[in-house]
Structures are given as C-alpha cells and as structure tokens.
Amino acid sequence: MTDWSLAKCIGKTRTFFDDRTSRVQRAKLICTSCPLKSDCLQWALEHREAWGVWAGLDYHELRIVAVSLGYEPPNRKEIEHGTERAWAWHRRQKMKDPTHETCQPCIDAYNSATRVRVARYRKRKEVTGSGESQSGK
C-alpha cells in the first residue's frame, strides 16, 4: 500500500490544482523529485483525474499518456458528483455565476479529502519534527 504522506505535494493543494502556467510549472517541478511519482500516475490514470497536476503531468499530457497506455482518458466535460473533482468544477462555476450552488455530495467529498490531506500533513510534520512552533514572531 502506498504511503501517500511521503508525497512532495502534501500541503500544496493550491499549487497543484491551479491552471495558471506558473503554478502548473511549479507543480511539475515539485513532482520531479517525488518518490511516489509512478504511484501517482497510476492513481490518476485509474481515476481519470481531469484536474490538477498528477505525476508531473497536466490534463492534456495525462490524456495522451492514458490513451497510449490503454486507459480511458480523463474528460473535463464529465462531472461525477460526489467527488473532489466535481467540487472543483462547482468552484469554477461559482466564479462565473455567483448564484451557483455546490451540491452536498461534492461538498462532502471535498471535506473528506481535505481531512485525509490534513492528517497526512500532520503525520509528515510529526515524522520530520518540523511541527515545532517558531518563537519571536
């Protein structure tokens, strides 16, 4: 089983799920030294991740790799409610239309994924010992 707490992207969600070129390039750079890059790619292909940078690949690159390896490629036009990906879709819709409402299954999926990320982040801080508070601020 993969120990995702070792992933270099832990605690950097905004960098990895932002389509701005500078953030995509930064995310890809972080992925280059990640020990879980192959596991991450496998996860992205199996779950048809259409949002974010996965294993150093953006959406368009993931589509090409998926097809070349015989996977069904991710598709941003398909929305599977009750997933974190769908929550991101709702967020983008809300930017276009402030009256747009996010469905509860998507909110629940996002909250669940966030709890997992926070737990991994805290575990990683405990292991590295960098969770100590800084004095003098």
pLDDT at 86: 86
User: Token pair for residue 134?
Assistant: 């800084």
* Separation CA 27–CA 46 (nearest Å): 21
- Flag whether pLDDT at 122 surpasses 50: yes
Instruction: Report in angstroms the alpha-carbon separations of 134 from 62, 118, 124, 129, 137.
Output: 40, 20, 18, 13, 7
Average pLDDT value for the chain: 86
Instruction: Report in angstroms the alpha-carbon separations of 22 from 14, 41, 123.
Output: 12, 21, 29
pLDDT at 26: 94
pTM for the structure as a whole: 0.58
> Chain-centre distance of CA 94, in angstroms?
20
Q: Percentage of residues in the chain with pLDDT exceeding 90?
A: 37
pLDDT in tens, 69-111: 999 888 877 677 888 888 888 998 989 888 999 989 889 989 9
